[in-house]
Amino acid sequence: MKSGYYFYTLSLLTCLASSLPAEDVYNANTDAWKRATPQASNGYAPAKVDCPSARPSIRVASGLSDQETSWLEKRKANTFTPMRELLTRLNITGFDAGKYMDDHRDNTTALPNVAIAFSGGGYRAMTNGAGGLAAFDSRTPNSTNTGQIGGLLQASTYISGLSGGGWLVGSIYTNNFTSVQNILNQGKDGDLWQLGNSILEGPKTGGIQLLSTVQYYENLYDTAISKQDAGFDFNVSLTDYWGRALAFQLVNATEGGPAYTFSSIQDDPDFKNANAPMPILVADERAPGDKLISLNTTVFEFNPWEMGSFDPTLYGFAPVKHIGSNFTGGSLPDNEPCIAGFDNVGFVMGTSSSLFNQIILNLDTVTGVPDIVKNALKGVLNGIGSDNNDIADYTPNPFYHFNNRSNPSAQTKRLTLVDGGEDLQNLPLNPLIQPVRAVDVIFAVDSSGDTLPPLTSAQNWPNGTALVATYERSTNASMQNGTAFPSIPDQNTFVNLGLNNRPTFFGCDASNLTGPAPLIVYLPNSPYVYNSNTSTYQMDYNNTERNAMIQNGYDIVTQGNGTRDSQWPTCVGCAILSRSFNRTGTTVPDVCQQCFKKYCWDGTVNSTTPAPYFPQMILQAVKVTSGVDRFIPNILSVAFAAAVSGFLMI
């Protein structure tokens, strides 16, 4: 068996769905390239701006923001047609999906509310997730053919990412909700997702990037220091350097778009008109004095309007466009200016992936790095201590003296955030299970690297740890704050029952839940056409490796375009409709009953130590040109992995 849809990248044909002439793919989605707007007035450095007529303030997290609420009204209307088209195409035998949608058109609360989540895991997670995103996207050629699930993206309300998954979501949205197909259509001459050069080496020259390695590092230094020198007591952390380096690969603009902000997404036409789901990136708080991040930590989200948390510890949100302003007690004093530009998109993506700050510390392996850069990084480390090298510094703290009774950082002017996977919730589910968002189903693409070498199993495959962590947090009365989550078995059960090697539904029986929990469609990384368990710390992929990872991710979420299970697209439709069936009292079609019997976890547990896990290739393997003489030597990658694997598996 093999998959047949093709991405066109110069002479390389990367198969994904069903057969398609290369020239047709090349001509698809060839609109003029667009990207987000550089809204920061002073480049990377935050700057004083005119305050809006209503001065920005911190709101209590007792509901959704006014902006999200009004946007949702448009989004629910805009998801109707793509959802109707998707459900009618998924062939739910004995059920008229079109009539069902039409009958409930005027009652949008009866219709499904869909979300997608992409886990962390470095470039492995970004590329594997990109394949899943391409399969969900009706703009991908042939993704709406038989065996395909294209259109799920257009029918979704929310999309979340964390760490490497955050690079995927952040990059797609920073570049005006572009498609994976559009990025790959650039071929080797493109500027986005060109991962052949390690992030330590800097981007290849040509196109919009003109910097040598030395100039690249000078640019990272100059932009980071401009923040420190802006005159408002901002601190520079290693995340500033890491985020700037990321932007060179993820933002289609000269020098990584130093003036591009996360809040500018709200003004992107596709998003503003609710033609795209709402993106959310996730980070964790490192409270003062904390060394390890636990399940009791505050989970932060970044969306186009706000940053903050529904967690009872903080229970507040700040306007993301104006973080950097000197808020006190939830308001901005009259004598304090409004600041904008702090939410640089690279810095936000870097915050969600700050574990990778340690990459920036390996500059001794790079030839030609200016001493001023090395000394600057040593100065940062001396200021924060080596135990805090994974932090992103948000000074001034927007939540200073806000919710003083429970906010762990209420008494400090410094808010420190870290990689969103450091609490083991490596799938960004927390924002999606908030009751006020009323999500029905979450398609969770898990690229975590949970299994460990050297003898017991192949490394870097998921084993359900991320789901287990979110489930355990949902049972903590002091943190769950009204959120509910389906029961999840232990990691040994995941491996023993094969739940980490195929799609599984959790929470199928809504009547057996403690609250309004969504159905989880778990989509774990598995080897369909490529051994996609690459190291989290592999920092370079040539284009054939990148494309093979993307192809494998496409096959994961489509089960090889239905070749592993021809009924899979129908079962996706049943999962989407499950909670809606409950709300409307609709008899579940027989074919959906079959799907739920096949894919729902039935509560069986086998916690014995599993046999060694070495998954076999499911379809015919693709051939790639392997990378040689990687810029970061393998021994360095292993050393870096050892430095962090003691407290985290991502």
Residue 505 lies in a domain: yes
Lowest mean pLDDT among 7-21, 150-164, 185-199: 7-21
Q: Answer positive or negative: Cα dihedral of 83, 88, 91, 94.
A: positive
Number of CB atoms found within 10 A of residue 33's CB: 16
Average pLDDT over residues 136-163: 96
pLDDT, position 455? 58
Average pLDDT over residues 91-117: 96
Is the distance from CB of 426 to CB of 119 less than 8 angstroms? yes
> 574 or 379: whose pLDDT is higher?
574
pLDDT, position 18? 38
> 157 or 289: whose pLDDT is higher?
157
Confidence of residue 453 (pLDDT cuts 50, 70, 90): low
% of the chain exceeding 70 in pLDDT: 87
pLDDT, position 432? 98
Q: Is residue 16 over pLDDT 60?
A: no
pLDDT, position 8? 32
Q: Residue 250 has which token pair?
A: 């993820």
CA pair distance 103, 80, nearest whole angstrom: 12
Helices 371-384 & 213-228, crossing angle to 10 degrees? 40
Q: Hey, is 245 helix, strand or coil?
A: helix
What is the enclosing helix (H) or strand (E) of 134?
Answer: helix 122-136
Number of CB atoms found within 10 A of residue 211's CB: 18
> 546 or 514: whose pLDDT is higher?
546
pLDDT, position 143? 96
Q: Is residue 645 over pLDDT 60?
A: no
Task: Kindly report the average pLDDT of the chain as a whole number.
Answer: 87
Confidence of residue 197 (pLDDT cuts 50, 70, 90): confident
Angstrom distances, CA of residue 142 to CA of 15, 138, 156: 11, 8, 19
pLDDT, position 494? 97
If you average pLDDT over each of 34-38, 200-204, 209-213, 609-613, which comes out highest? Answer: 609-613
CA pair distance 25, 15, nearest whole angstrom: 11
Q: Is residue 120 over pLDDT 50?
A: yes
CA angle 154, 346, 361 (to 5 degrees): 135
Number of CB atoms found within 10 A of residue 621's CB: 15
Q: What is the 3-state secondary structure (H, E, C) of 509-533?
A: CHHHCCCCCCEEEEEECCCCCCCCC
pLDDT, position 647? 41
For every residue of 95-127, DSSP letters joined together read --HHHHHHHTTT-GGGS--EEEEE---HHHHHH
Average pLDDT over residues 509-516: 82
Confidence of residue 629 (pLDDT cuts 50, 70, 90): very low
CA pair distance 45, 231, nearest whole angstrom: 10
Q: Answer positive or negative: Cα dihedral of 95, 96, 99, 104.
A: positive
* CATH code where residue 279 lies: 3.40.1090.10
Q: Is residue 124 over pLDDT 80?
A: yes
The number of distinct structural domains making up the chain is 1
pLDDT, position 363? 72
Which range of residues forms the domain containing residue 214?
A: 6-645
The per-residue pLDDT for range 255-303, each reduced to its tens digit, is: 889 999 999 999 998 899 999 999 999 999 998 888 778 889 999 999 9
Number of CB atoms found within 10 A of residue 291's CB: 8
> 384, 365, 363: which is closest to 375 by C-alpha?
363
In the block, which residue shows the tokens 């057969």?
A: 19
pLDDT, position 570? 98
Residue 566 lies in a domain: yes
Residue 650 lies in a domain: no
Residue 425 lies in a domain: yes
pLDDT, position 293? 87
Residue 1 lies in a domain: no
Q: Is residue 603 over pLDDT 50?
A: yes
For the chain, the residue count is 650
Lowest mean pLDDT among 103-107, 205-209, 249-253, 452-456: 205-209
The per-residue pLDDT for range 431-443, each reduced to its tens digit, is: 999 999 999 999 9
Read off the DSSP letter of residue 7.
Answer: E
Q: Is residue 650 over pLDDT 70?
A: no
Q: Is residue 512 over pLDDT 70?
A: yes
